[in-house]
Amino acid sequence: MEEGMMLIRGSDSAIDLPSILTEEEKWYFDLQGYLILRQVITADEINQMLRLGSHWLEQPDQAPPPLRVTVKEYGGVINPLPYGDRIFERTSLNEKVLRVVMGLMWNRPRLFNCALVQQKKEPVSAGEKEKLHRDTSGFDFPDGFRNPHNDYQAGNGQIYSNYINTAITLVDVPKENGFTCIPGTHKSEINFPDSLDIDNLWAPAETFELQAGDCLIFSPRLMHGARYWKMAYPRMVIFNRYQFSFYFNENYSLPLKDHADRISADQFELESIQRGKKEFARRILDKIKRGEKLC
What is the arithmetic mean of pLDDT over 175-196? 90
What is the arithmetic mean of pLDDT over 164-188? 97
DSSP state of 88: G
Q: Is residue 70 part of a domain?
A: yes
Our count of domains for the chain comes to 1
What three-state secondary structure class fits 181?
Answer: strand
Q: Is residue 6 part of a domain?
A: no
pLDDT at 203 over 80: yes
What is the arithmetic mean of pLDDT over 114-143? 87
Using CA atoms, how far apart are residues 97 and 218, in angstroms rounded to an integer? Answer: 11
Model pLDDT, residue 25: 98
Q: Is residue 14 part of a domain?
A: no
| Between 132 and 270, the higher pLDDT residue | 270
pLDDT at 187 over 60: yes
Residue 196 · residue 72 · CB < 8 Å: no
Q: Is residue 219 part of a domain?
A: yes
Helix, strand, coil shares of the chain, percent, nearest 5, are: 25, 25, 50
Q: Does the reported pTM lie above 0.75?
A: yes
Q: Is residue 7 part of a domain?
A: no
Beta strands in the chain (DSSP E): 34-37, 68-72, 75-79, 109-119, 152-155, 158-161, 163-169, 178-181, 206-207, 215-218, 224-227, 235-244
Model pLDDT, residue 269: 97
Q: Is residue 2 part of a domain?
A: no
CATH of the domain at 31: 2.60.120.620
pLDDT at 16 over 80: no
Q: Is residue 16 part of a domain?
A: no
pLDDT band at 248 (very low <50, low <70, confident <90, very high): low
Q: Is residue 284 part of a domain?
A: yes
pLDDT at 232 over 60: yes
Range of the domain at 77: 23-137+146-290
Range in 115-124, 250-259, 281-290 the model is least confident about: 250-259
pLDDT at 57 over 90: yes
Using only the alpha carbons of the chain, give its radius of gyration.
20
Share of the chain above pLDDT 70, in %: 94
Number of other residues whose CB lies within 10 A of the CB of residue 274: 14
Using CA atoms, how far apart are residues 174 and 183, in angstroms rounded to an integer? Answer: 18
